[in-house]
Amino acid sequence: MDALILALYAFIVWLIFFKFKWLPWNNTSMVIVITIPIVGMTALILTLNVVAPSTADVRVIKYVVNVIPQVKGRVIEVPVEPNRPVKKGAVLFRIDPTPYDLQVKVLEASLASAEGSSNKLNKELEAAVGRTQAVRPNIELARKRVEQNKQLVAAGAGDRFALEQAQTSLKQLESELASALANEGQVRALMDATVGQDQAQVAQVRAQLENAKWELSQTTVYAPADGYAINVQLRPGAMTAAFPITPALTFVENEYQVLALFQQNELYAVEPGNEAEFTITTNPGLIVKATVDSIVWAQGQGQIPLTASLPQTGSAPLPEGRFAVKLTVDPKQASMFFPAGAVGHGAIYTNHVAAVHILRKVFLRVGAKVDYLILKLH
């Protein structure tokens, strides 16, 4: 763009001094003609760098998930295809579930046995209480018969043998009640001695069963988000384990961030919400509209490593680090495909001197067209 401005300026100078000769061409006019573009271009560029800063380092960053299984085992299926779109929840690979399924069945049997032991004592207690409750009404009836027979014998109208028989029946029932109460007490004492242990055992087996079921569910690994799997080296028959430094495959999410890196003194006029534009080399000629989401006010030079040594400043100062500006792509273009690691140019249009923003926009669009050129000799 600066070349176009200079070319237009040179054309005007040619018209004025050579074509129509409106002004004489001498030393004074030559100094003026040369000084004007130098001062003008310098002032224009310095102004643009403040009110519409640009960068040649715009990057597309995507989230990368190293997929690591939670359980170990032999891989039996890898239905995912590398570098193909995958929806969230789609199966990435499956591990042989046989040993985990068997563990679940073993623990289900152990739980049933532990619960059965507790249920057996409950049933014994219910039976003992039932016998006690069944004897009590018979005792009450036997006592009434004894009283009735006593009254009849006292009045001379009763049979003493019947009274003795009623008294004998009452004693037998009282003996049965005492035996039932003793049996109920024994069952309760046994339950008191074992119920805590049984409950702890049942709770332990249930926890083990839940863990076994969870491990069984982890034998199928699903896509964590919409995206695509790359570097799919996994094949059926391979062994895999829950080891953080050896992921089974790498998954790249579709969600992305656009970061534009600027020198530190370029950002003092930039604010969240400012209009922005950027280009991506993979899409020549395309201008992507965006707004400033935030400025990442942090970079590596702001951190001192936690070591026992003193900070090393080196023989020369480190170059000044840049700060990243996070851009939000316009919703109309947000669904576009942006490759992870794509780079390009960008510009931010602040709320100051909006009249000169058009020059930065022209610069950016000319640069986008230049991306069509593949400058190599082979």
Confidence of residue 247 (pLDDT cuts 50, 70, 90): confident
Say which residues have a Cβ less than 8 Å from residue 52's Cβ, sequence separation at least 6: 347, 348, 349, 350, 356, 357, 359, 360
First to last CA, the chain: 29
pLDDT for 200-225, tens place per residue?
677 788 888 899 999 999 999 999 99
Q: What confidence score (pLDDT) does residue 158 get? A: 62
Confidence of residue 6 (pLDDT cuts 50, 70, 90): confident
Q: What confidence score (pLDDT) does residue 162 get? A: 66
Helix (H) or strand (E) holding 239: strand 239-240
Q: What confidence score (pLDDT) does residue 314 get? A: 67
pLDDT for 14-54, tens place per residue?
888 888 888 888 888 888 888 888 888 888 888 888 999 99
**Long-range contact set of residues 196-200: C-beta below 8 Å, sequence gap at least 24:** 198/114, 198/117, 198/118, 198/121, 199/118
Question: What are the structural domains of the chain?
Answer: 1-51 (no CATH), 100-190 (1.10.287)
- The C-alpha atoms of residue 95 and residue 118 are separated, in whole angstroms, by 37
- The C-alpha atoms of residue 6 and residue 270 are separated, in whole angstroms, by 29
pTM comes to 0.67
Confidence of residue 86 (pLDDT cuts 50, 70, 90): very high
